[in-house]
Structure 1
Amino acid sequence: MKTPYSITTPRFLLLGDSHAGVIGKAAQAREVPFGGGPLGTGRDFAVDFFSITRNDVVFRDGEMERLYRQALDTFETPQLAKVGVPLVSTIGLSLHYLATAPNWTCYQTPEGEFDAGFLAGPLFESIVDTLSRSALAFYEQALAMKLKVFAVLPPQRVPELSDPRVFMAAQTLLIKRLQGLGVELIDVRAAANDEQGFQRSAFCEVDDPLHGNLAFGELIVEQLLEHGL
């Protein structure tokens, strides 16, 4: 059985959280063949979500593993190392989840301010690195399997229960970490954002505080094509 968005002769493997869905829909609309799609939610990748085997990974959650194997079926291979195309991923980039506001109030003054330098300091880095450890390990493993890896930055949307200051600081740190590994970033902020650095309504899903719409997905697919996908 093929994955929901798969088309014959796939050009990339798509794995991620719910933000991967609009990438798949945009690729399908452009008739860019691919395999895969969303595997879970953002919080699913903030834990130890996979293990390593020879030339492959195994997802610890049964449903995520089933969807992953279904994606690999598109490429007629049982191993990640042998898909033969780039990996496009949103894994670990649900920044709204990392920025859940109640988790950060203990580091704030009674007025709700962070101490000067906190968001660029070692404690903040340590927290974000810990929460992102498994996701970064997944990218590192994919690169070790000689895959070309693209990580897609999420919509620049901060829902009510998340702290925009943490969102932006965590994003800056994760960009640094991903680039340090050798992952290529797909970053459409210049095209999709307003002057305040948040996503313009033209690229936001209607009646949804979190996701990008098809137009946002089209920006991502266009940039992937510009990167030689």
Structure 2
Amino acid sequence: MFLIGDSHALAIKAAALDRGLMLHGGMIDGGRNVNIGFHDRIGDEVRFRKPEHQALFETYLAAAGVTSLRDFRGPVLCLFGMNIHYLSRAEIWSEFSIAHGGERHLSQAVTRLATLAMIEGAIQFYKDLIDMGCTVLCPLPPRRSPTADTNSIPSVFRALEGVVIDLISATGARVIDHRHWSLDPEGRLKAEYAFPDPADDVHGSLLFGHRLIDQTLAEASTFAA
């Protein structure tokens, strides 16, 4: 498998290394920097616009023994456009309601268009990979709504999860949805799947990475079939 994504890739990569699993690739940049306007399609290749992104990408490709993702024989795990904690920040949504009625209620159609506008580059990236013949799997990030950095709104986070899943799925990529095992009955991330450092209220734990890899491998086999 070839992993390419934001900082949520770190838990997946760490779990792969922990079990000796061959997983090429890794993190390119923070999610907010790979949502819009970050790549171009040139023939049967994708190229990142920032030189540091492209250099890192080429390093990952070389380690996998290929020069383009179209030549990689295996699933591509991509996390772009899934930094939902950032998409759901209060500075965007605090004046509106997307879950209930009211004077400033936004319809599902408007919410979808607003979300698409925030991750249109990531959606195009998925479309490009699919068009290149890649098998693309997209592990959903852990459901964590940080307040210190982004002031994420939990109710908006949950609403946008579904929107992002629909947008990415429409490209032909498959979203790996872990919520049936990662959430408690109240819909919150179980404590064991949260990164143990209290200063980090965004990422998943090593155990989360392990379980996500297990599910990804299982779904990758059915996708190939």
2:57 aligns with one of 60, 68, 73: 68
Equivalent residues in 2 for 1:82-93 (5 A)? Answer: 82-93=71-82
Contact 2:95–2:104 (Cα < 8 Å) also in 1? no
Query: 1:171 and 2:158 equivalent?
Result: no
Structure 2 vs 1, CA of residues 116 and 218 (structure 1 numbering), >3 Å: closer, same or farther? farther
Letter in 2 for 1:209: D
Unaligned stretches of 5+ residues in structure 2: none
- Check if 1:154 corresponds to 2:141: yes
- Residue 59 of structure 1 aligns with an amino acid whose one-letter code is F
Contact persistence 1:118–1:124 (CA under 8 A): no
Question: Which among 190, 198, 201 is matched to residue 209 of structure 1?
Answer: 201
Structure-2 change in CA distance of 1:58 and 1:114 (3 Å): farther
Aligned to 1:187: 177
Structure 1 unaligned spans of 5+: 1-11
Name the counterpart of 2:68. 79
Cα distance between partner residues in 2 of 1:85 and 1:117: 46
Contact persistence 2:96–2:104 (CA under 8 A): no
Tell me the secondary structure at the aligned position of residue 88 of structure 1.
strand
In 2: Cα distance, 1:138 partner to 1:77 partner: 19
Query: What is the CA deviation profile of residues 91-139 of structure 1, one whole-angstrom value per residue up to 9, with x for unaligned ones?
Result: 110001101111222335xxxx873894552221111011111101101
For 2:103 and 2:70, the matched residues in 1 are separated by 44
| Whole-angstrom CA distance in 1 between matches of 2:76 and 2:102 | 39
1:8-157 → structure 2 map (5 Å cutoff): 12-107=1-96, 115=102, 118=105, 120-157=107-144
Q: Alpha carbon RMSD of aligned pairs, Å?
A: 1.9
Q: How many residues align?
A: 215
Partner of 1:221: 213
Whole-Å separation in 2 of the counterparts to 1:140 and 1:178 = 9
Q: State percent identity of aligned pairs.
A: 28
- Runs of 4+ in structure 1 displaced over 6 angstroms? none
Provide the C-alpha distance between the structure 2 equivalents of 1:105 and 1:176, rounded to a whole number of angstroms: 23
Shift of 1:173: 0.8
Partner of 2:170: helix, strand, or coil? helix
Aligned to 2:216, the other structure's residue is in SS state helix
